Amino acid sequence: MNDHLLKQKVKVPDGWKLKSVGQACKIRNDLRKPISVEERAKMKGVFPYYGPTGILGYINEYLADGNFALIGEDGDHFLKFKDKEQTLLVGGKFNVNNHAHIIEATDSCTIQWFYHFFKHRNVKSFLSRQGAGRYKLNKETLKKLPILLPPLPEQTAIADLLSTWDTAIKKTERLIAAKENLFAAYRQQLFQSKKAIEKNGWAKVRLSDCLSEHGELSSGDEKVFSVSVHKSLINQIEHLGRSFSANNTSNYNRVHFGDLVYTKSPTGNFPYGIVKQSTIFEDVIVSPLYGVFTPQTIELGTILDFYFESPITKECINL
């Protein structure tokens, strides 16, 4: 084991072993075949051609045949290990370009275990740089990556459990996406035009009749939030990596659950500013550059939140 591995303080469970990838797995880069986009265009077929993060196309020949795992050799995806999968499971007849390493199972490590172990693992400290934002995991460095190895039956059981959860999560995400699309369609139908609203008997009122600016200020203990076009209210530190608030936040506006937060400056597709409803269950604060309004009911606030994102806003509001 190299010095880098020995210096790591890793508590190994009973029966597990700490090895390097080079000791635990076979690296089958002899099965890689770099083919340019122009060449692939002349070789269209049914066999997938993989890069480090997925299938790049299909060609009429194959070099690899069997079950393997892939891990990237270079790219910026290494920096996004929390959100992007760093490994792939591949099987059957296929091809791999020269930007991904091919891992084969041994009698001490299954490819499913390798796949899950490095799927969202941070290996940045092992990488070399290739210009700004470009990192490389060469074969010699890959061999030195540490990997914990349970006995084979445990590897299989753990990998099967993780695969079951992965499948359930992906199905849930697809279901959520489908429902969000349906919800967006209903919302668009509801706010399709000024004439449709008038036809449905909606009353025309002033915003001041259904909103009140409560003007509560910070008590000093709340978290600082900002308004995002796509994510509603966001925690500055969690989403931006730092807080842009003033040292003294005593004049910041408090926001309750259900309140509407209004950016007073027009931006992009929002000529009247951005209006977002808070779905944060705790009280938070926003800069005094934002206006904070309490609707008569939370449900009314939700309707107004949708209304201000709809294209009919320009029809219904006169500057």
Q: Which of 135, 158, 181 corresponds to the end of one domain? A: 158
Residue 203 lies in a domain: yes
Please state the domain count of the chain: 2
Q: 160-168 long-range CB contacts below 8 Å, 24 or more apart? A: 160/112, 162/116, 163/112, 163/116
CB-based contact 262:283 (threshold 8 Å): no
Q: Tell me how far apart the alpha carbons of residues 151 and 116 are, in angstroms, rounded to a whole number.
A: 15
- Please identify, among 158, 177, 207, the residue that sits at the C-terminal boundary of a domain: 158
Residues 226 and 308 reside in one and the same domain? yes
Per-residue burial over 22-49, b = 16 or more CB atoms within 10 Å of its CB, e = otherwise: bbbbeeeeebbeebeeeebeeeeeebbb
- Is the domain of 125 the same as that of 266? no
Tens digit of pLDDT per residue, the chain (319 long)? Answer: 444 444 455 677 888 999 999 999 999 999 999 999 999 999 999 999 999 989 999 999 999 999 999 999 988 888 888 888 999 999 999 999 999 999 999 999 999 999 999 999 999 889 888 766 678 899 999 999 999 999 999 999 999 999 999 889 888 888 888 877 776 676 666 666 666 666 666 667 777 888 888 778 887 778 888 887 777 888 877 766 666 677 788 889 899 998 989 887 766 666 667 888 888 888 888 888 888 998 888 888 888 887 777 766 666 665 4
Residues 139 and 266 placed together within one structural domain of the fold = no
Residue 91, domain member (yes or no) = yes
pTM over 0.75: no
Name beta bridge partners: 285: 224, 254
Q: Judge contact between 58 and 48, C-beta under 8 A.
A: yes
> How far apart (Å, rounded) are the C-alpha atoms in residues 24 and 30?
18
Do residues 218 and 250 make contact, with C-beta atoms less than 8 angstroms apart? yes
Residue 179 lies in a domain: no
Q: Report the DSSP pairing between strands 64-72 and 87-96.
A: antiparallel
How many residues does this entry show for the chain? 319
Same domain, yes or no: 112 and 9: yes
Same domain, 279 and 138: no
Burial string for 183-204 (b: 16+ CB within 10 Å, else e) reads eeeeeeeebeeeeebeeeeeee
- Whether residues 10 and 153 share a domain: the answer is yes
Q: Looking at the structure, do residues 218 and 99 belong to the same domain, yes or no?
A: no
Considering the domain architecture, whether residues 70 and 212 belong to the same structural domain is answered as: no
| Residue 310 domain boundaries | 192-316
How far is Cα 65 from Cα 295, in angstroms, rounded to an integer?
Answer: 62
| Domain boundary pick from 158, 180, 209 | 158
**Dist CA 117 CA 239 (whole Å):** 27
Rounded CA separation 124/102 (Å): 19
The CATH number for 120's domain is 3.90.220.20
Q: In this structure, are 153 and 283 located in the same domain?
A: no
Q: Are residues 231 and 142 in the same domain?
A: no
H/E segment holding residue 101: strand 100-104
